[in-house]
Every structure is written in structure tokens, then in C-alpha cells.
Chain A
Amino acid sequence: MSVAIKLRGCGKTWPGGTVALHPLDLDIAAGETLVLLGPSGCGKTTLLRLIAGLELPDAGGQVLFDGEDVTRLPIERRNVGMVFQSYALFPNMDVAGNIGYGLRVRGIPRAEVARRVDEMLEMTRLTEFARRRVDALSGGQRQRVALARAIAPRPRVLLLDEPLSALDARLREELRQEIDALLRSLGITAIYVTHDQAEAMALSDRICAMERGRIAQIGTGRDLYHRPANDFVAGFVGDTNRLGEELVRPEQLALHPSAEGEWTVQRATFLGPFVRVKLRDAAGRELMVDMPDLATPAPGARVEVRRRGPA
């Protein structure tokens, strides 16, 4: 059911001449979850919309689903499922009406639609809300309706455009786990756009980090975190210190109080799981070190910094 996606030379230039996306190639395996990660304006949503069929690539670009050229196929004939940040639920239909919409427009018999809708309601734990108006639901419930609606017609690809960004932190975490479980159980090819690196790490098989209309790096979360291709990627997937030519993550360093230490503690911020300590040396260089909340040094204390052994 799920397809492999290939992009060949896909760029996008807006009518005003702004380049949203420089021509790029991208291969997504069948059943893979690829996260497009980057700041706003990096082209990740444009890339998603090219794959969806909502935008046409510049001349020469090609979008292939399992080898079939779908570049000119409009979205309504590509059989893709979409989930939007703003939910985009139809306000004139109830929950079941929304979920069944894609099946009804395909002319599937009524009994079959009802059966599939019930299945989706159960899968997303929305059965008791079937006849509820969508504006009577919470944000998390609405996004679950949107997911069920997108999956119901068994699309070839699931495209998610910042689906959790409108939710508060707690709900976001909860729904993220649900989406993750759903994608694993369906085995569907999924492309997930986000600017949140934690979300990207948690959901992805691979992450495609994007910067100003280009792919900066593609790889697993570990690749991007431990072997970032450049400063942009390093900075985007976590905080970094620069030690000479080397980038070091704050949790890879350890502090040792020492009267002769070259670093002075500026500030120690309690962040829950760890304490982030900001240091400065005589030359004005700065360093961040994350440590457990056990023997946090007081501001002004002199310390030595050493690298932790490999975890």
C-alpha cells in the first residue's frame, strides 16, 4: 500500500522570483517516516506541498511514487492523506462525517463507509464523540479526528504539516506518542514537517534538516546530533560549544571544582532533569555544561572542564 517516493531536480520559485526551494533530489523508502526539520522559511512546507501535489515544481522537477511520475497529477488524484497544523476540519460536518468524507467522495457504499469510520473512531479513541460537532472538541481531539480522516481512505502517503504545533506542551507529547505508534502500526510512508527537534528525534526514521531552501543534512537523529554536517545543523538539533575546531554538546562535558581552574561559573540554571552551568574564561570565551542537580557550583567558583568518557 505504501510507496517509495523519489524527487528529482525539484525546485520551487515563486512568481515574484523568490526561490523557496533550490532544485534537490530526495529518496524516501516505502514505509519510512521522514521528518523535514528546519526553521520557518527553510522550504520544508514547500517541499511537503510539492510531494502532496498542492504545488507544481519548477520546470524539470519530477515527483515519483513507486516509479510512477505523478508530477502533473493534482492532489485529488494522488491518494495522499494530509494533516494540517490548523486541523482544517469541516465545520459543517460532525466527527464521523469528517472521518468518512474521503470515503464518501470516492463513492464507497454507505455500509462500508460506516464500518471503516467505526474502525477509525476506535483506533483514535473517538467513538463516544462520533456525533459531536467538531468545534465542541479540544485541540488534541480535533487533531485525532484530522488523523483519522486522513488515514480512513488508506492513502499511499501520509503528509503531516506541523500537526502538533498548535497544542500545548503536555498534549503535544501525548499525541506525538500516539502518532508514532500509529505510523509504526500502519507501516505507511510518512513525511512529517516540524521545527521542533525533539519531535523530529522522537518520530523519525530519518531527519532531513533544511536551511534556506536546501537540504543541509539527511540522516538518523543520532547522525545529526553526533555528526552534524555543519554549524547550522549542530545548532538546530541541540546546543553546542565550540572548542577550537570541534563542536561539543553541553552534556559531554563535566565540571571539577579547582582553585586553579581556568573557567569561572557565571550562572547555574535549574532545568529539571539537569542544571545548565554557564562558564567564562579570562579570554571571555563562553561554555555551557549540563550536569545533574547534585553539587552545583555557586556563581564565581573556579572550575576545570573535562570531557566525559563516551557514553
Chain B
Amino acid sequence: MSDRLRAALLIAPALAVFGAFFLIPLGQLAVAGGAGGYTTILTEPRYLRSLGVTLLVAALTTAITLGIATAVGLFLARNRFPGRGTLLALLTLPLAFPGVVVGYLVIMLAGRQGLVSEISMALGGERIVFAYSLAGLLLGYVYFSIPRTLLTVIAAAEKLDPRLEEAARSLGASPLGVLRDVLLPGLSPALTAAGAICFATATGAFGTAFALASRIDVLPMVIYTEFTLQANLAVAAALSFLLGLATWAVLALARGASGGAAG
């Protein structure tokens, strides 16, 4: 048996599974939209606006999450103190929560009967409610995106050679200079990877948006409505395919940009 044939036989099971459970459903989804489905979503501004909002929310979520996770991750990677393990466990707890629970937490914090609302009333101000707005949705998304991003950043930060930072400082670099010239470039592969996962998760997040019954029409909610309430299968399928395609394109662009910057 030739090596080539042997290799083909060995990879065949993997290809079969990949085809059966990934390519075929995806192909069917793409076809199910039909000419009508695609024409509808491309001509009806509501759908494209929804796609735009979804990508915007995901991009904002990614930016905020990366900012917080980088600061917290660098701190946790460099400092050892009592309670560090507990803090890390608390910070990663949301990994276990379904999106619906995260949405519920946001309502408890910023809903009509929420903590922020009670405090603002008690202080004699207006009732502050932002759970059902863009801010509430962002808060929820950031909350469940932080754990996985944070763990990636900590792992990468612990692998950075502390001598690099010391060398930069000995050459006169300020703390900000060290961050810009040493830490961020060193973390950039991890930040790109974590950011991609964060962005993809945020575009497809459904539970949180559903729980908040938000005034913002993110695409997963629109797909759900078209599919279950309107029974508009063609449009739902076309939207799903478009969402996948748009996310893939954004991630490919981000990867290209960060690869170019690193090289």
C-alpha cells in the first residue's frame, strides 16, 4: 500500500464526520435561503441594519473585554497575594452561566427594580434603567466574554520574559512605553486569538439578548423571530448564512491585520 493511499484511508473517517455534520448542514442552510430569501434580506433595510448593529455590538464588546482582560490579566499574572485563587475563580465563574442567566443578572443590576435603579432613586435622582438598552446588552456580553479572554491573557502574560520589560526600562522606557513596546506586542497573538473568540461569541449570542427582550434587534434575535414566529424559513436560513459569512470575514480581516503588524 502506498503512503499516499494509507494517508487517504486514515483521514477518511475524519472527512466523513466533517462532511456529514459540518459541510452538509451548512450547504443545506445556504441553499434553504433560496433566491427569495437572499433577495428579501438584501432589499429590506431592516435586516441589513440588524446585521450592522450586531457587528457593532460584537466589536464594542471585543474592544471593552480586551481592555479589561489585558489590565486584569497582567495584574494577576504578576502579583501573588492572598485570595488571588478565589478572585480568579470568581472572575471565571460566568463561564458556567447560560446567556439567559447573564441577562437575568443584568436585569437585577440595571433593570426597573434593579440595584442601580434603587440606588439612584434613594439618592433622590431619576430612576436609572439601562438593562434593556445597548448599554445593558454590552454589559451582559462583556460579562460573559471576560472569563475566557482573561484566562488566555494570563497564560500569555506568564510566558512573557520579565527581562524584556527590565531591558526596556533600563533603556529609559516609561511604564506606558513598556506597555506599548513590550507587553502589547508580546501579548498580541493571544489578544488576537481571544478577541476572535470573543467577537464570534458576541455575534451569535442569543440567550442574553432574549432574556433582556432588548430594544436592540441583534441578528440572532431576528433569526429566532423569523424562524419560530413568522415561520419564514427562507429568510431565517439566509440571515443565518449571512451572519456566519460576515463573522468569518471580520475574523479573517482581523487575523490578516494582526499578522501584518507582527511581521
Contact = CB atoms under 8 A, between A and B. Distances in A.
B169 A102 contact: no
Contacts of A79: 172
A178 B185 CA distance: 32
Nearest to B177: A105
Q: Give the bracket for the number of chain B residues in contact with chain A.
A: 10 to 19
Interface string A104-133: 011000000000000000000000000000
Contact of A76 (B163, B172, B181, B262): B172
Interface in A26-56: 52, 54
B166 A101 contact: no
Interface in A118-165: 146, 149-150, 153, 159
Contacts of B168: 90, 101, 105
B172 A82 contact: no
B170 interface: yes
Contacts of A146: 167
Contacts of B163: 84, 86, 88
B158 interface: no
B239 interface: no
A90 B262 CA distance: 12
A90 B170 contact: no
Interface string A289-311: 00000000000000000000000
A80 interface: yes
B170 A80 contact: yes
A20 B241 CA distance: 63
A75 interface: yes
Interface string B160-180: 010110111111111001000
Nearest to A93: B181
Contacts of A84: 163, 166-167
A88 B164 contact: yes
Given A54-B166, A92-B185, A86 B173 contact: no
Interface centre among B164, B182, B185 (most CB of A within 10 A): B164
B161 A76 contact: no
Nearest to A106: B172
A11 interface: no
The B interface is mostly helix, strand or loop, or mixed, namely helix
A240 to B, nearest CB: 36
A187 interface: no
Contacts of A77: 172
Contact of B182 (A76, A86, A90, A150): A90
B166 A88 contact: yes
B166 A90 contact: no
A261 interface: no
Interface residues of A, number: 26
Contacts, number: 67
A92 B185 CA distance: 7
B174 A76 contact: yes
A291 to B, nearest CB: 45
Contacts of A75: 166, 169-170
A77 B175 CA distance: 12
Interface in B144-169: 161, 163-164, 166-169
A299 B141 CA distance: 80
User: For B171, B182, B185, which residue has the most chain A Cβ atoms within 10 angstroms?
Assistant: B171
B164 A76 contact: no
Contacts of A102: 171-172
A105 B164 contact: no
A84 B166 CA distance: 10
Interface in A60-93: 74-77, 79-82, 84, 86, 88-92
A80 B172 CA distance: 9
Contacts of B177: 105
Given A88-B161, A88-B166, A105 B171 contact: yes
A153 B172 contact: yes
A55 B168 CA distance: 16
A307 B170 CA distance: 51
A76 to B, nearest CB: 5
B260 to A, nearest CB: 13
B171 A153 contact: yes
Contacts of A52: 166, 170
Nearest to A97: B181
A105 B173 contact: yes
Residue among A54, A76, A84, A91 with the highest chain B CB neighbour number at 10 A: A76
30 contacts: A52-B166, A52-B170, A54-B166, A74-B169, A75-B169, A75-B170, A77-B172, A80-B170, A81-B170, A82-B166, A84-B167, A86-B161, A88-B161, A88-B163, A88-B166, A90-B185, A91-B186, A92-B262, A101-B168, A101-B171, A101-B173, A102-B171, A102-B172, A105-B172, A105-B173, A105-B174, A105-B181, A106-B172, A150-B170, A153-B172
Interface of A: 52, 54, 74-77, 79-82, 84, 86, 88-92, 101-102, 105-106, 146, 149-150, 153, 159
Top 7 closest pairs, chain A to chain B, by CB: A102-B171, A88-B163, A92-B185, A82-B170, A88-B167, A76-B169, A84-B163
Interface of B: 161, 163-164, 166-174, 177, 181-182, 185-186, 262
Given A82-B170, A105-B177, 5 more contacts: A81-B170, A90-B164, A91-B186, A92-B186, A146-B167
